[in-house]
Amino acid sequence: MFIRQLFDRESSTYTYIVADEKTSEAAIIDPVKEQLDRDVTLIKQLGLKLKYVLETHVHADHITSSGKLREKFSAQIVLHENSGAACADLLIKDNATLKLGNVEIKALHTPGHTNADISYAIDGYVFTGDALLVRDCGRTDFQLGDSSTLYNSIKNKIFSLDDATIIYPAHDYSGFTASTVREEKLFNQRLGNGKTEEEFIEIMANLDLSLPKKIKESVPGNTNCGL
């Protein structure tokens, strides 16, 4: 399986291209509008056949390029059914599977950051969106987020994967690019090292974060696939 990690500096967003190397069928995860030309050029240079645009959730800090990518490559846009994104081609449920050639993508509903978060598990890797970041996690104070729900999503869905599973998050603000399930179980500052649900809820309740700068344009823009 082919994996390429890309970065948008302004929003600190990771975009991923994954592909089956035998058939060149590919998916892009969490693309950013301002990076459309970069992503289109790379997909064409590598001779990939873009089949899916996979969104981990309706983002509040940047606008997606999913609609434009669909126009250029006839790809299908995928979100969770709770997203309210009528523009999507596939609104999927927990444990839905998608295929890229011989590569199987399993969608894990991991709500809590929003009510529509999906983590995509692919052949020893998991793309966790904003639900689980390296040594951190997504906030839970808007878009129907809930700290108890996020705690249980991570513990029961992501931490139940094999310890060696590579974690690829949607954002990083500290210079990390990836982690593993084992590392996050041990070292995640918010819910690792055996932290209880009650401890996690208290931590999240006291973050005192300001809203993302682009939330007013990003949420409605992303429910319309960036168009």
Q: What is the pLDDT of residues 80-120, one digit of tens each?
A: 999 999 999 999 999 999 999 999 999 999 999 999 999 99
DSSP-assigned letter for residue 21: T
CA dihedral 173, 32, 20, 118 (to 10 degrees): 70
The confidence score (pLDDT) of residue 192 equals: 97
Mean pLDDT of the chain: 97
What are the boundaries of each domain within the chain? 2-209
Predicted model pTM: 0.97
User: Are the C-beta atoms of 64 and 55 separated by less than 8 Å?
Assistant: yes
Q: Which CATH number fits domain 2-209: 3.40.50.300, 1.10.1370.30, 3.60.15.10, 3.40.50.2300?
A: 3.60.15.10
pLDDT (average), residues 65-89: 97
**Whole-angstrom Cα distance, residue 129 to residue 55?**
8
Residue 12 Ramachandran class (φ > 0 left, ψ -120 to 50 alpha, else beta): left
Sequence-ordered alpha helix ranges (H) in 47-115: 66-73
DSSP-assigned letter for residue 150: H
Residue 175 Ramachandran class (φ > 0 left, ψ -120 to 50 alpha, else beta): left
Residue with tokens 């041990």: 186
Segment (H or E) for 98: strand 97-100
DSSP-assigned letter for residue 101: T
Between the alpha carbon of residue 2 and those of residues 46, 48, 87, 92, 122, the distances in Å are: 11, 10, 28, 24, 11
Q: What is the pLDDT of residues 10-59, one digit of tens each?
A: 999 999 999 999 999 999 999 999 999 999 999 999 999 999 999 999 99
Q: What is the pLDDT of residues 129-187, one digit of tens each?
A: 999 999 999 999 999 999 999 999 999 999 999 999 999 999 999 999 999 999 999 99
